Copies of this chain bind each other. A is one copy, B any other.
Amino acid sequence: MRLLECVPNISEGRDRDKIASIAEEVKKHRGVRLLDYSSDRDHHRSVFTFIGEPEAIQEAAFAFTLKALDLIDMREHKGGHPRLGAVDVVPFVPIQEVKMEEAVQIAHEFGKGLGKRGVPVFFYEEAATRPERRDLPLIREGEYEGLTEKLKDPRWKPDEGPDHFDPKSGATVVGARFPLVAYNVNLKTRDLALAKEIARKVRFKDGGFLHVRAMGVDLKEREMVQVSMNLTDYRVTNIPKVYEFIKREALKKGIEVGGTEIVGLIPLGVLEGIAQYYLSCERFSLRQVIEQRILESD
């Protein structure tokens, strides 16, 4: 089954009616499932997750975006979360049988369509057109309030759309990325320095595993410390690799693992990878999972 996910973030987290009617746009599209949406009043921001065949997702994402641009006015927007526009970020995420190249192409087509409607569009992560635009926080630097200045800088010429913007809508960042797996390993110690040391060893930017971000966190109430991770491409570095590494590193100091947690949604492929790693399974396929088969029988 071909599955592409879209996880847009919009700058409206308070008006329930507006948020619900933007969500309704997604549901109108056949074969598209709105899995979840949640709003944060303080951030004045909502995140939606919908999934389906790539073509249907592209259409649903565009209708969703037009509706949100219609209902949200950035001139009135204040909130705690960095943002550039009414429809702030639109990431496309390949989940099953969709190549990253296809997600990138959809992001580009989507951005082009949005640009034609007068919204400046920046492409990020896998859809970035230059290395310095891969990173979302960097693109968002200066935020909505600094957008006029930013667009004067030739280095920030938008990838699509005009180099000026409707103050009602601001700009939109569109991209493609792999699904993010949030995974934490708790250690039975109060030694935060150890968690930080292991986090450094495990994360890519300090010489650790590919596609791993990590930090050490103090779990005061539980009287433990935690190595908190994001795995940004589980097909390359899946949970078992980091778990076994952290377990070994902690044991060197005589510290045991006090449980682990997978936070939020994961693709079935993550569980498949875990089974493969530990059981050296031959030829196991997701199609052997009954629930997956049900999806395919639709």
Interface residues of A (CB under 8 A from B): 3, 5, 33-36, 51, 95-96, 179, 239-240, 243, 257, 259-262, 264-268, 271-272, 274-275, 278-284, 288-295, 297-298
Given contact pairs A271-B275, A289-B271, A293-B36, A280 touches B262 in the complex (Cβ within 8 A): no
Report Cα–Cα, A220/B109, bound state, in Å. 55
Inter-chain contacts of A295 with B (CB < 8 A): 291, 294-295
Report Cα–Cα, A278/B279, bound state, in Å. 10
Inter-chain contacts of A298 with B (CB < 8 A): 33
Q: Which residue of B lies closest to A186 (CB)?
A: B282
- Report the minimal beta-carbon distance from A282 to chain B, rounded to whole angstroms: 5
Among B5, B261, B275, B290, the residue within 8 A (CB) of A283 is: B261
Among B5, B265, B290, the residue within 8 A (CB) of A268 is: B290
Chain B CB count within 10 A is highest, among A3, A239, A290, A292, for A290
Chain B CB count within 10 A is highest, among A95, A265, A266, A271, for A271
Report Cα–Cα, A265/B284, bound state, in Å. 10
Report Cα–Cα, A280/B259, bound state, in Å. 5
Inter-subunit contact A257/B278 (CB<8 Å): no
Inter-subunit contact A267/B281 (CB<8 Å): no
Inter-subunit contact B272/A259 (CB<8 Å): no
Inter-subunit contact A262/B288 (CB<8 Å): yes
Inter-chain contacts of A259 with B (CB < 8 A): 280-282
Among B5, B243, B279, the residue within 8 A (CB) of A279 is: B243
Inter-subunit contact A240/B51 (CB<8 Å): no
